[in-house]
Structure 1
Amino acid sequence: MNVAASLSSIATVRFPNCHRCFRSSKTLIPSSSVRIMSQFSSSPSASSAPPMSSNTVAVESKKPPKQPWLIVGLGNPGKKYHSTRHNVGFDMVDAIAEAEGISLSSVSFKALVGKGLIGDVPVIFAKPQTFMNKSGESVGSIVSYYKIPLKQVLVIFDDLDLPFAKLRLLPKGGHGGHNGMRSVIDHFKGSRDFPRLRIGIGRPPGKMDPVNFVLRPFTKQELEELNFTFQDGVEAVRILLLEGFNKSATFVNSAKPLEQCG
C-alpha cells in the first residue's frame, strides 16, 4: 500500500478521545497521522464538522474575561447616620457583601470598596464616602477607571414612594427627587440607562419634613423586618449577575403589591 492510501485509511478510523493520547504519546503515531486526526473532535457528533486547525482550537478555548459589575449603595458616612433611613443603600450593600464573603475594607475613589466574585462574575462593591449629595463623584470615578458599562452598574438607594421594606428593580429611570441619584446621573453625563434597586422606606407621618424623616433611625421592629428585605436583595443580585436582569426583576417585582408597579 502506498503512503497516500495508508493515510486515507487512517483518516477513516475513529479514535475516541485520542486527542489526549497524541499530546502524551507523540512517538507512537506518525506526525502526518496526527495532523489528519486533529481535524476531528472526541465528540461523536463532531465527525461531520469542517476541518479546524490546532490554532483555531487554541483561540476558541480562551474565553474573554468578564467585565466587572459595580454594586453601589448610597448613604452618608459616619456614626451619626448609621441605621438611618437614608442609609439603607449602605445597609443593603453590607448585607450582600457579607453573604458573599467580600470585605469592604479598602478606601479608594472616595469610597469604601470591596472586590470579589459572585459565582464566576467579578464584582466591585462601593459605598461612597462623599455624603449623599456628591455620590456621583465617587461612582463616576470608579466607572471611568474600570471602564464599566452602565448596564452593569447597579445603584441601591432608599425610596420614599415605596411602602416600607419593599423592593423594586428597574432597568433605568430618573432620580425621583433623590439627591444621591441626581448626582450619579449628573456624573454619568445625564445618562439614566443603568439599573437601580429601590428600597422602600415609607412616607413621613403627618406633616413631618421628609428631610428629617429620612435621617431618622429605624426602630428595632423595622430593622427586623428589613432583614427579610436584605435577604431578598442578596438573592436578587445573585440572579441579576448570573441569570440576567429579567429573571431578577421578576423575582423582585412580581410578587409585590400592585401599588409598586405604577
Structure 2
Amino acid sequence: MNLCASLSSTSFPNWNRCFRFSKPLISSPSSCSIMSLFCSKNSSAIAASITTDAMSTEPKKKDPWLIVGLGNPGKKYAGTRHNVGFEMVDAIAEAEGIPISSVSFKALFGKGIIGDVPVILAKPQTFMNSSGESVGAIVSYYKIPLKQVLVIFDDLDLPFAKLRLLPKGGHGGQNGMKSVISHFKGSSDFPRLRIGIGRPPGKMDPVSFVLRPFTKQEREELDFTFQKGVEAVRILLLEGFNKSATFVNTAKKIEQLG
C-alpha cells in the first residue's frame, strides 16, 4: 500500500494536542487534509531516505588479494626446495577450487574466491631472480594495495617444513624477494609466508642445496606443512593478519601441548 494513502486513511483525533502550537495548524482540519499536506511536502524526502537506507545495507565490494608463490619454471626445477612457493600456491588452488590455467603478466595465473574475498593466484615464470617483473606488473594493473599482497617463498634460515608469517621485512638474502622489493620501489611493507627448507649439510653449496629434490620422508612432512599453510591463508583473508600469524607462528607449541 502507498505510504501516503495509508496515512491518509488513518484518523488522528488529537493531532493538534501532540504538538505545542499556539494555534491549530489548520482550522477544523480533517485527518485526510492534514495527511495530504504532509505527504505532498515530504514524499520526496521519504523516498530519498528509503533509497539511501537500502543502498547503505549493500555489502561493500572487497579489494582482491594477490597470492604469489616464488620458484623457477620448467620440469628441471619441479619438486625442488627452491620451488616450495610454487607448491604452496598449487595447494591453495586445489583446496579452494581455483584453476591456475592461464598465462598473464609473465606468470601462471588464476582468479577465484576464498570465502567472500576475491583472490588472484600467481606463479611467476620469469625465473626466481626476476620474480618482481611479474609481481610488480600484476600489482600495478589491478591496483592491489601492498598490504594485500602475500608472497610465499623458501627460507634457508628456517628449520625444515616450519612456517613463519610476517607483516613485512627484508629479503633475507632470497633473490626472488630482492626482485619483488625492487619492483615495489624498495617497499617491503607487504606480508610474506616463509617456508623453511633447512640448511645445507656440511659444506654443501647453498645454490646446489636449494635445487635438490626432497626425500620421501621430507615430502610427507612438507605435505602436512602445505595443509597448514592453506588454513593459514584462509584465516588471513577472512579473519585478519593477527589471527593468522598466531595460528602459524605458535603452531608448534600448540602441537606439543596436545
Q: TM-score range by the shorter chain?
A: 0.7 to 0.9
Question: Structure 2 CA distance, aligned partners of 1:5 and 1:159?
Answer: 74
Deviation at 1:182, TM superposition (A): 0.2
Q: Does 1:217 align with 2:213?
A: yes
User: What does 1:99-138 align with in structure 2 at a 5 Å threshold?
Assistant: 99-138=95-134
Corresponding position of 2:228: 232
Deviation at 1:79, TM superposition (A): 0.1
Which one of 191, 203, 206 corresponds to residue 202 of structure 2? 206
Q: Deviations over 1:204-259 (max 9, x none)?
A: 000000000000011111111101100000000000000000000000001336xx
Letter in 2 for 1:178: Q
Question: Structure 2 CA distance, aligned partners of 1:8 and 1:89?
Answer: 73
Q: Deviations over 1:85-130 (max 9, x none)?
A: 0000000000011000011000000000010000000000000000
Q: Does 1:88 align with 2:84?
A: yes
Which one of 151, 161, 167 corresponds to residue 155 of structure 1? 151
Letter in 1 for 2:182: D
Runs (4 or more) in structure 1 with deviation over 2 Å come to: 4-10, 30-33, 61-64
Question: Structure 1 CA distance, aligned partners of 2:122 and 2:109?
Answer: 5
Q: 1:226 to 1:9 in 2, by over 3 A?
A: farther
User: What does 1:1-262 align with in structure 2 at a 5 Å threshold?
Assistant: 9=12, 32=39, 53-256=49-252
Question: Structure 1 CA distance, aligned partners of 2:198 and 2:48?
Answer: 61
Q: Paired residues, what number?
A: 224
Corresponding position of 2:20: none
Gaps of 5+ in 1: 13-29, 40-50, 258-262
Question: Structure 2 CA distance, aligned partners of 1:5 and 1:97?
Answer: 60
Q: 1:212 to 1:57 in 2, by over 3 A?
A: same
Question: Structure 2 CA distance, aligned partners of 1:160 and 1:167?
Answer: 12
Question: Structure 1 CA distance, aligned partners of 2:11 and 2:185?
Answer: 64
| TM-score with structure 1 setting the length | 0.80
Gaps of 5+ in 2: 1-6, 16-35, 254-258
Q: Deviations over 1:42-77 (max 9, x none)?
A: xxxxxxxxx981231132033331100000000000
Partner SS state of residue 252, structure 2: coil
Question: Structure 2 CA distance, aligned partners of 1:255 and 1:80?
Answer: 33
The higher radius of gyration belongs to: 2
Question: Structure 1 CA distance, aligned partners of 2:178 and 2:151?
Answer: 12
Partner SS state of residue 256, structure 1: helix
Partner SS state of residue 251, structure 2: coil
Question: Structure 2 CA distance, aligned partners of 1:8 and 1:95?
Answer: 68
Question: Structure 2 CA distance, aligned partners of 1:206 and 1:9?
Answer: 94
Question: Structure 2 CA distance, aligned partners of 1:123 and 1:255?
Answer: 25
Question: Structure 1 CA distance, aligned partners of 2:225 and 2:56?
Answer: 42
Q: 1:32 to 1:109 in 2, by over 3 A?
A: same
Question: Structure 2 CA distance, aligned partners of 1:100 and 1:59?
Answer: 31
Partner SS state of residue 63, structure 1: coil
Letter in 2 for 1:211: V
| TM-score with structure 2 setting the length | 0.81
